[in-house]
Structure 1
Amino acid sequence: MPTVDLSDFSFWTRSIPAREAAFAELRGLERPPFFHETELADVGFPAGSGYYALVRHADVVEVSRRPRDFCSGKGATSIIDLPPEMNEFFGSMISMDDPKHARLRRIVARQFSREAVNGWRGTIENTARRIVDELSAHGPGDFVERVATRMPIIVICDLLGIPEEDYDFICSRSNILVGAFDPDYVPDLANSAAALLTAGGELADYVNRLAEVRATEPADDIITRLVHANVDGERLTSQELASFFILLVVAGNETTRNAISYGLELLTRHPAEKQLWCSDFEAYATSAVEEIVRLSSPILYMRRTATRDTELNGQRFREGDKFLLFYWSANRDERIFEDPHAFRITRSPNPHIGYGAPGPHLCLGAHLARLEITAIFRQLLARIPDITAEGEPSRLVSNFIGGTKSLKCSFSTRSEEQS
């Protein structure tokens, strides 16, 4: 039996090397996955019924490719069994199965196609330039607050048509949704459930008010396009729009924010890799960003539930069994990645699953996230090349998001404003 308790929130406060060692132990078991009990009743939710932890790359990919055997509709982002309406409200399409999932994805997918996202390059590059302008002007400080948080929240809010004066409101509610078990965001953990519902309700009310305006006063933004979207006669309901909006502001903010933060840590700990990237940014940008996403793995897991009695790797499982697909572990699987804990910006191939494994739920916003990460590091490494992380980061207390709450940065160079 393993000595690792993934259901203990204190596990997720361990250092990165300690987590890596723990997951290496789990991957080395003779017959994973192993069954894990879960107890969350003391933070305002009913106790769960336990789950199997999938920690190997091959197992995560296999389950992801079999949505008929392993569904998302019972809950994709929560270990415990929430009411179906709550699953869909907070998870949107990632907590749906076909045909509902396919319908919703069909309506919204064209807004995040590669072609559509490429049209936002100018906005993304300008945002990155402005953030580094301000960082350079004001000097060192909290990298998460000044850079990593601002980059995705400004981009996603700008694309959605949210005015600048509301950015802090959106960001604070997003923080509660991903940090409901972190005392820095919800001091009384007994109120975690209420905090989640309140933050989600406030975001839903916000987007519904904005949608009412865009219905009669369209603008050049995603909310307008979603309000007026009509694919084969199908439109989003107000509830679907609210749910998808919550998904966008959380996934579009938190995942990229934490990849950027962890990226600075990696470049600081591996100065030779940083120097190599600085020597020819464009030549290494694509592979460097993929390596940052692999090791940061901002989404730690997704859940699936067996829809029927089935088999995986010769083991039999029963209908209703739960599985947590630990992307963070799969992306460090020594069976797939040579020297998996090393940061190599030239790593190729790099079949990471930082944006989900192959299957119907592959991340819709992956291309946007890659562009944002590339844009901010293009500016940082060109204009503040000696920027480094200082001291220990403050990690988010979460078993779902691999988050960084604060990270001090330092640098000495000042560059003239780039044209």
Structure 2
Amino acid sequence: MGTEIPGQSSPRPAARAAQADLSDPAFWQLPRPARLAAFAELRRRDRPVLFGDRPGFYALVRHADVMEASRRPRDFASAPGVTTPEPAAWAKAVFGNSMVNMDGEEHAAMRRIVARSFTPRLLAATEDNVREVARRIVDEMLERRPEDFVPSVASRMPFEVICDLMGIPQRHRDEIAARVDQASASVGVRRGLRARLRMPGRGLRALAHMQLVMAGLARERRRRPTGDLISALVCADVDGQSLNSRQLGAFFSLLLVAGVETTRNAIAHGLSLLSEHPEQRALLEADFASHADGAVDEIVRHSTPIIQFRRTVAAECELGGRSYRPGEKVVLFYASANRDEAVFENPDVFDITRNPNPHLGYGGGGPHYCLGSHLARQEMKALFHELLTRPRGLRAVGLPGLVDSSFDNRVGSLRFAFEPS
């Protein structure tokens, strides 16, 4: 059995939870136990609750509702966008539309091209590379002894793996990493007016720069394929289709969020959870091969790196005891679904032996289930194997520095300490 997290096992702020407004940025500045208590109270309601001024959105907070909506794309569409604010039409025209905002055949065609580009040879090379990247990062950690786990370890692992997979030359990586930070800096909700006005422009400039880099690499790989993912995507012939430069740029931007940001946050939460629960860490260290998969799934369930995605009602339908009309919005709260008492026994307990563990950390199934879930698991297992077997006494120092956000469970910083083996 696992252990309970202080302050999360029996949430007390029921009165506050009963009046919580999920559309108010102030809600996302509450302590995490208070937010989890609000979700628990909402799960006890007989139907999804409407938040915000009309059109507002209906909050899907139960595991069954989130999973069903994910698997009914004809009723609950990803277009025009799954995030807030929705991407403008001109931005899609200039930068390309992300797969997460597509439906139907448009989405299926893109997914076929991407899926078939992951050839057995590429996947085998990637698996070997993941282990090598993990060893190299821990080598440098032992040598340099950094104090913040996020930039020195957690961020580097998925970023380097994705860049290696895509075939991004070293000369571009520092600049791309800086642009990613610029593009994602607006994720928090504690921003003043000046920052709110400045960040969209900075984010668009960062996106434009990455698009230019990818367009140049696409031209190079069409002329001289090198066996990496960019080469496979731009030279693919899936029903006569391949990715153009704009589509490639949009796909790379998606990888940086879905493949880097989420895995980075899961890794950081993982170290914090294993440090806070030494008996769970002892289980993992005693038999890593037997418990690694369970540990990764429980870290993802417990931390839920992506808090929510939005859907637009495309047809008159019913779900969760409520009827919906076309054009209305629903929000799939994975952070709540992964704590649903109807599915998970003692959901606030961190238990790497939890079985079954049908978490929705990679989505609720359906056509938008995360393509990179297998790679993310590989990265986490390879890195934690290195971290738990090479340095001595590796541990988080203090609580993680969380960034207030309604979109992702982001760790901004995490102090840590260790002794060389």
Q: Report if TM-score (shorter chain) is over 0.5.
A: yes
Matches of residues 307-322 of structure 1 in structure 2 within 5 Å? Answer: 307-322=314-329
Amino acid at match of 1:359: G
Whole-Å separation in 1 of the counterparts to 2:416 and 2:97: 34
* 2:211 paired residue number: 204
Percentage of matched positions with identical amino acids: 46
| Structure 2 residue 174 is matched with structure 1 residue 158 | no
Amino acid at match of 1:32: R
TM superposition shift of 1:316: 1.1
* 1:261 paired residue number: 268
Asked whether the equivalents of residues 137 and 157 of structure 2 are also in contact (C-alpha less than 8 Å), the reply is yes
Measured against aligned partners, the alpha-carbon deviations of 1:355-400 in whole angstroms (never above 9, x if no partner) come to: 0011000001110000000000000011125211112322223211
* 1:36 paired residue number: 51
TM superposition shift of 1:189: 1.3
Measured against aligned partners, the alpha-carbon deviations of 1:133-166 in whole angstroms (never above 9, x if no partner) come to: 1112222510001110010111111111112243
Matches of residues 335-350 of structure 1 in structure 2 within 5 Å? Answer: 335-350=342-357
**Aligned counterpart in structure 1 of residue 142 of structure 2, from 136, 145, 149:** 136
Whole-Å separation in 1 of the counterparts to 2:292 and 2:87: 41
* 1:233 paired residue number: 240
Amino acid at match of 1:137: E
Whole-Å separation in 1 of the counterparts to 2:204 and 2:192: 14
| Structure 2 residue 71 is matched with structure 1 residue 65 | yes
Asked whether the equivalents of residues 299 and 402 of structure 1 are also in contact (C-alpha less than 8 Å), the reply is yes
| Structure 2 residue 25 is matched with structure 1 residue 19 | no
* 1:396 paired residue number: 403
TM superposition shift of 1:87: 5.7
TM superposition shift of 1:84: 3.9
* 2:195 paired residue number: 188
Measured against aligned partners, the alpha-carbon deviations of 1:302-339 in whole angstroms (never above 9, x if no partner) come to: 11111122111231111111011011110111110000
* 1:125 paired residue number: 131
* 1:271 paired residue number: 278
Whole-Å separation in 2 of the counterparts to 1:186 and 1:125: 44
TM superposition shift of 1:8: 2.8
Instruction: Using the TM superposition, name which of 229-238 and 10-19 deviates more.
Output: 10-19
Amino acid at match of 1:50: G
**Aligned counterpart in structure 2 of residue 111 of structure 1, from 103, 117, 123:** 117
Amino acid at match of 2:388: L
Measured against aligned partners, the alpha-carbon deviations of 1:54-95 in whole angstroms (never above 9, x if no partner) come to: 1110100010111111101121122x4443454685761110
Segments of 5+ residues of structure 2 without an aligned counterpart are 1-16
Asked whether the equivalents of residues 107 and 229 of structure 1 are also in contact (C-alpha less than 8 Å), the reply is yes
Amino acid at match of 2:347: P
Asked whether the equivalents of residues 46 and 321 of structure 2 are also in contact (C-alpha less than 8 Å), the reply is no
Under a length normalisation based on structure 1, what TM-score does the superposition of the two structures give? 0.91
Amino acid at match of 1:351: P
* 1:408 paired residue number: 415
Structure 2 counterpart SS, 1:267: helix
Whole-Å separation in 1 of the counterparts to 2:97 and 2:384: 30
Amino acid at match of 2:88: P
Whole-Å separation in 1 of the counterparts to 2:317 and 2:135: 51
Whole-Å separation in 2 of the counterparts to 1:287 and 1:251: 21
* 1:172 paired residue number: 178
Whole-Å separation in 1 of the counterparts to 2:181 and 2:55: 27
Whole-Å separation in 2 of the counterparts to 1:288 and 1:385: 20
Asked whether the equivalents of residues 9 and 397 of structure 1 are also in contact (C-alpha less than 8 Å), the reply is no
Q: From the superposition, tell whether residues 184 and 261 of structure 1 become closer, same or farther in structure 2 (CA, over 3 Å).
A: farther
Asked whether the equivalents of residues 118 and 229 of structure 2 are also in contact (C-alpha less than 8 Å), the reply is no
Structure 2 counterpart SS, 1:304: strand
Q: From the superposition, tell whether residues 408 and 291 of structure 1 become closer, same or farther in structure 2 (CA, over 3 Å).
A: same
Structure 2 counterpart SS, 1:388: strand
- Over the residues paired in the alignment, what is the CA RMSD in angstroms? 2.2
Q: From the superposition, tell whether residues 129 and 101 of structure 1 become closer, same or farther in structure 2 (CA, over 3 Å).
A: same
Q: From the superposition, tell whether residues 145 and 211 of structure 1 become closer, same or farther in structure 2 (CA, over 3 Å).
A: same
* 1:248 paired residue number: 255
Instruction: Using the TM superposition, name which of 129-138 and 374-383 deviates more.
Output: 129-138
Asked whether the equivalents of residues 302 and 324 of structure 1 are also in contact (C-alpha less than 8 Å), the reply is yes
